[in-house]
Chain A
Amino acid sequence: MPYKPIDFFGIDELYHPEELLIRQSVRSFVDTEVIPIIEDSFEKADFHFDLIPKMAELGLFGITIPEEYGGIGANYTSYGLAMQELERGDSGIRSFASVQNSLVMYPINKYGSEEIKKRWLPKLAKGEAIGCFGLTEPDHGSNPGGMITNAVETADSYILNGAKMWITNGTIADIAVVWAKLNGEVCGFLVEKGMKGFTAPEMTGKHSLRASITSELVFQDVEIPKINKLNIKGLKGPLSCLTQARYGIAYGVIGAAMAVYDSALDYSLSRIQFGRPIAGFQLTQEKLVNMFTEISKAQLVAYRLGRLKDDDRATSHQVSFAKRNNVEIALNCCRIAREIHGANGIVNEYNVMRHAANLESVKTYEGTHEIHTLILGEHLTGIPAYQ
């Protein structure tokens, strides 16, 4: 059955023609390159490296980065729509693009010197270099300010020590944007593959995001040239990157939600019990309507947030709202879709269980659901509950 995305409120009328074209191209790419291989890739935890040049050729790396650095120069709405389509394929594939765009190219473009930008951005855009982002540590997740990874300045370099965990693309990365304390203040450093003392072992045993590589980053007296330090101080550096990535997630998960909804609707119309399609039963209809309603609301939130970002007016609180809400409804859609698919919901003939398993990670990464609740709680009351 062809994919039938939801657009109950005619939001497509609000998108610019080129935004819709970008969405359509990424949708076609996912149909031809991702969906045919993804169940196998997920099952075998085998990341398909050939997707990297294909994604690069389509223009999925550096979507909002200026053309002079090899980017596309498109707006944030286009970026959001591209993430939505990638995540219809798989959250792991979307994560790959999120990291490259929002967590690597964004900070290099925003906080890197001209020389660094020219050296790395075109390669990252072409997929000739892969990036990763090291903030989370084994003992510091929701509280990144407590990080123990640290840098010490010497006459002509910085010496980095510490470890990062849960790092998407770490093992295959050519460049890592690593956050470490220098004189007690969080600073960003570019650590290059092959630098002495830097290793990135892969983490295995995941039941989620299996089509994506997750790694540890270990730094033992890694010597980093001065030019590789980013021009930003304090937690606002990494948090600004996370705001970019979280925005992409708020859009992205709608793709996963629409994928499982689409499958559930098709299934409910073709699955016959008691002599008629289960779509005809009231309990099933309520489930479908609940998914459809939440997806439509999430679309409106994402659309508005995208436009605010395009105007440079979106706040990190609004991004927290959208990430928190949209990931939760997407995960709920997976659970409801699984119920509609009955026993078939657990097998890999359908996409439901894979999306459900992926979204369990998405609910926790990039600011846990709980932390986003507290960010909004502080916004409402003025009282920070996490300190």
Chain B
Amino acid sequence: MNILVCISRVPDTASRVIVGSDGKTIDPQGIKYIVNPYDEIALEEGLRLREKNGGTVTALTVGGESSKEQLRTALAMGVDSAVIVKTDSSFDSFFVANNISEYAKSINPDIILLGKQSVDFDSLQVPSILGELLGLPSVSVVTKLAIEGNTVTAEREIEGGKEVVETSLPCIISAQKGLNDPRYPKLPDIMKAKSKPIEEKDAVNSDERVTVMGIEIPLKKRAGIILGGEDKDIDEVVRLLHEESKVI
């Protein structure tokens, strides 16, 4: 099985994000970068498919030189090869999908796995644009995946429930939390990944379809409500959870 997994470099969700002086980008000072957590799930799924069916897993990223760090993580997790499509300019979802598509055409993967979204800009667009560009079925927000022969059965999250869909290889699957628990690399594999080659490609440029006009930090979180321990307070908590937050 020829498996392609696309990953991206994103700020660690534990980092405190500060808007850069241009008001449009994140100030990278003091930010730690990680593999997008949903992409990690996609990587794990790719590795499991290889373990079950044989074949190879290629990890691909579109980004700057520093994105190689995330490819090293993928190599340490066990992918067979790593490719960076290099660009130094800022880019939108179409740019990323277009470059993945160009690369995918060169290796004709049986399946392309990627996270349902990147936790930096949260556009949720790449898997669908990629489907359109490659003319392949694209199933998003997948929490369960089964492949028998050419038949792909995927369970996906929908508002308030789940949906089971069937499609066939080759296809694109975007991963949601719950699909698996990603492995953490073992120390010997981390050491081996150090010397593995990373293939470099130049990005294909495309006009920006979406331009970021500005980004800002959300206003301070709402003030909490402090209640006591009387029965009436407990009733009030239940009422608030039911009527205001709608979680019960």
User: Interface on A for B, CB 8 Å cutoff?
Assistant: 2, 4, 7, 10, 12, 17-18, 21-22, 24-25, 28-29, 57-60, 63, 67, 72-74, 78, 82, 272, 275
Contacts and interface: CB of A to CB of B under 8 A. Distances in A.
Given A12-B32, A18-B72, A59 B14 contact: no
Given A17-B72, A18-B193, A21-B76, A72 B30 contact: no
B186 interface: yes
B120 interface: no
Contact of B190 (A10, A12, A25, A28): A25
Contacts of B76: 18, 21
B154 to A, nearest CB: 26
Interface in B125-152: none
B201 interface: no
B14 A21 contact: no
Contact of A63 (B69, B185, B187): B187
Contacts of B194: 18
Contact of B184 (A18, A25, A60, A78): A25
B30 A25 contact: no
Contact of A58 (B14, B30, B186): B186
Given A4-B14, A12-B32, A18-B72, A59 B184 contact: no
Given A25-B186, A59-B186, A17 B191 contact: no
A98 B187 CA distance: 16
A12 B72 CA distance: 17
B118 interface: no
Interface in B177-207: 184-188, 190-191, 193-194
A74 B193 CA distance: 13
B14 A17 contact: no
Interface in B21-64: 30, 32
Contacts of B14: 2, 4
A76 to B, nearest CB: 14
B68 to A, nearest CB: 9
A60 B187 contact: yes
Nearest to B72: A17
B226 interface: yes
B187 A25 contact: yes
A28 B184 contact: yes
Given A25-B184, A25-B186, A29-B184, A73 B191 contact: yes
12 contacts: A2-B14, A7-B32, A12-B32, A17-B72, A18-B191, A18-B193, A18-B194, A21-B193, A25-B184, A58-B186, A74-B187, A275-B226
Given A25-B184, A63-B187, A272-B226, 9 more contacts: A2-B14, A7-B32, A17-B72, A21-B193, A24-B184, A29-B184, A67-B188, A72-B187, A72-B188
A241 B144 CA distance: 50
Contacts of A4: 14
B190 A18 contact: yes
Closest 5 CB pairs of A and B: A59-B187, A28-B184, A25-B184, A21-B190, A72-B187
B69 A17 contact: yes
B69 A22 contact: no
Interface of B: 14, 30, 32, 69, 72-73, 76, 184-188, 190-191, 193-194, 226
A155 to B, nearest CB: 43
Contact of A22 (B30, B187, B226): B187
B245 to A, nearest CB: 18
A21 B184 CA distance: 9
A275 B69 CA distance: 46
Contacts of B186: 25, 57-59
Query: Which among B69, B76, B190, B194 has the greatest number of chain A C-beta atoms within 10 A?
Result: B190
A59 B72 contact: no
Contacts of B226: 272, 275
B43 to A, nearest CB: 14
A296 to B, nearest CB: 14
Contacts of B188: 59, 67, 72
B30 A10 contact: yes
Contacts of A2: 14
Nearest to B189: A59
Contacts of B30: 10
B74 to A, nearest CB: 11
Query: Which among B76, B191, B226 has the greatest number of chain A C-beta atoms within 10 A?
Result: B191
Given A2-B14, A25-B184, A72 B191 contact: yes
A92 B173 CA distance: 43
Contacts of A28: 184
A265 to B, nearest CB: 13
B185 to A, nearest CB: 5
A22 B184 contact: no
Nearest to B30: A10
B69 A25 contact: no
A22 B32 contact: no
Nearest to A24: B184
Contacts of B69: 17
Contacts of A272: 226
Given A4-B14, A17-B69, A58 B32 contact: no
A21 B71 CA distance: 12
A7 B31 CA distance: 11
Contacts of A82: 187
A21 B68 CA distance: 13
A72 B14 CA distance: 30
Contacts of B184: 24-25, 28-29, 58
Nearest to A5: B14
Contacts of B187: 22, 25, 58-60, 63, 72, 74, 78, 82
A21 B32 contact: no
Contacts of B72: 17-18, 21
Contacts of A74: 187, 191
